[in-house]
Structure 1
Amino acid sequence: MNAPTAITSRDNPLLKRLRVLAQDNAAYRKQGQVWLEGDHLCRALLARGLRPVTAVFSETFWRQAPHDLRDAADHIVTVPDALMAGISGLESPAGVGFVWELPQAAALQSGAAAVVLDRLQDAGNVGSILRSAAAMGFAQVLALKGTAALWSPKVLRAGMGAHFGLHLVEGLSVDDLAGLSVPLLVTSSHQGDFLHRARLPWPCAWVLGHEGQGVSPALEALATQKVRIAQPGGEESLNVAAAAAICLHASAAGR
């Protein structure tokens, strides 16, 4: 284990970068790095056999940190608790965070099962869908332009580590989806086959639309199949993240 470097100045260049990564949804695109705050996200990264470039500990947590976290990076930094709190995007600041280099921009994988996000705005919804995709065996998630930034701090926290097991591509156009070469299944609240009766192809791509506007007409026109979820309780529609979990589970169960 390398000896940690103690940083005590708020104006340290590393801490300035971390504050930007923790607070700016698009900063990762410029810096090529993400800030993973808290024990759960840090361990999720390590569980995938991935390694951070820097591990940052509050002074208090460092004294009790387990060896796997202490040994996680070649570059280790400790900061006073107050400075760690100044970086944090959480109500209760964590004692540890990792800086991880993002992989090279990924390309769409033809023929692979996928989840397509069509202009979803809510970071919590996007993160929850990533968790469902990873759990149900959809290893590819494709975000069209206008979707919340996949590696933004709030999406990372909502994803709870699912990011590290997924092939993520963002900034796509509708035309880019032609390279998928799998059937597109479009969710709808008012038309199409009821999910519990539908024959679902595999592999496929589930398209999940904007929280208010739904799937765009251009994507609906490309759909192989339209699917809706029976709602005997009579609600008008389901939250998109809840609908995604139901649809992806149906595909996984039917494989």
Structure 2
Amino acid sequence: MPALVITSRDNPRYKTLRKLVQDANSYRSLQRVWVEGDHLCDAALSRGWQPQELILAESNAEGLTRYAAHAQRAVLLPDRLFAELSALPSSRGVGMVFALPAAQGVDPDAPTVVLDRLQDAGNVGSILRSASAFGFRQVLAIKGTAALWAPKVVRAGMGAHFALALHELADEGLVQQLRVPLLATSSHQGDFVHARAWPWPCAWLMGHEGQGVSPALMAQAQAFARIAQPGGEESLNVAAAAAICLHASAVARTGD
């Protein structure tokens, strides 16, 4: 495949790329997703995703041999222009642009994680990574949650995005469509996570870093869980709490 060579930052195609990388919400208007680095590109390809564009730095000419057959077209950039796009010190000069997945209906019976207005991109990406690792298939992000396909969230997810059905800008009504038990963490009620078996499949509800789960969603929960903290800390980071809760479900599922 002959690569399109872009040498000017004023090139319209390059300007669109830069917007996609630097504006966390631009993927919604552009309907495209930016993925950078060998690990994430390989993760997407392994899940059957086909890139619209392969973006390479000139110094990574071997990337054409490795990836060009998977992409609809290839774009070659001088290293200085790729560096302006890159947020990774070791991306090795490779990125891909994928079509934003089309919206699909909620699966009411799928193991699910509900994100209630989580603000931090690192927390959101980490929870997606835990969700995928522990067998959850669907994520509902309540309106106000960090943009799921923002580059920072994609990087923190470490490839989990490509294994999950993601639903953004959800509301309480969408959560009500779930037929699996809705479980919520609480600091003052419910069983300790380690002290009982939790239902599978289920939906875990993870709340805003400062405000916690909204009262409207708490009212929908069928059970509540507390996390033992013998060290005396006031609370856990929401991503750490999610990993503990989702693992507890995975253990109940496998019987390990």
TM band (smaller chain): over 0.9
Give the counterpart letter for 1:101 in structure 2. Answer: A
Give the counterpart letter for 2:83 in structure 1. Answer: A
CA distance in structure 2 between the partners assigned to 1:94 and 1:34 by the alignment: 19
> 1:8: how far off?
1.0
- Matched residue, 1:22: 21
Q: Of 186, 189, 192, which aligns to 2:187?
A: 189
Matches within 5 A, 1:116-195: 116-195=114-193
Give the counterpart letter for 1:197 in structure 2. Answer: A
- RMSD of aligned alpha carbons: 1.3
SS at match of 2:195: coil
> 1:70: how far off?
3.1
CA distance in structure 2 between the partners assigned to 1:134 and 1:86 by the alignment: 31
Q: Of 87, 90, 96, which aligns to 1:89?
A: 87
Q: Of 210, 213, 238, which aligns to 2:211?
A: 213
Farther-moved stretch of structure 1 (106-115 vs 144-153): 106-115
CA distance in structure 1 between the partners assigned to 2:251 and 2:97 by the alignment: 37
Q: Of 93, 105, 108, which aligns to 2:106?
A: 108
For structure 2, the residue ranges without an aligned partner over 5 or more in a row are: none
Matches within 5 A, 1:176-255: 176-255=174-253
- Matched residue, 1:3: 2
Give the counterpart letter for 2:58 in structure 1. Answer: E
Q: What is the percentage of aligned positions where both structures have the same residue?
A: 60
Contact map agreement 1:52 1:99 (CA 8 A) in 2: yes
> 1:200: how far off?
1.1
CA distance in structure 2 between the partners assigned to 1:208 and 1:117 by the alignment: 5
CA distance in structure 1 between the partners assigned to 2:69 and 2:57 by the alignment: 15
- Structure 2-normalised TM-score? 0.95
- Structure 1-normalised TM-score? 0.96
For structure 1, the residue ranges without an aligned partner over 5 or more in a row are: none
> 1:110: how far off?
1.0
Q: Deviations over 1:63-112 (max 9, x none)?
A: x3373323221301111001111222335564011010011112211111
Give the counterpart letter for 2:153 in structure 1. Answer: V
Give the counterpart letter for 1:195 in structure 2. Answer: V
Q: Deviations over 1:167-206 (max 9, x none)?
A: 0001111122111111110011232111111231111100
Contact map agreement 1:110 1:181 (CA 8 A) in 2: yes
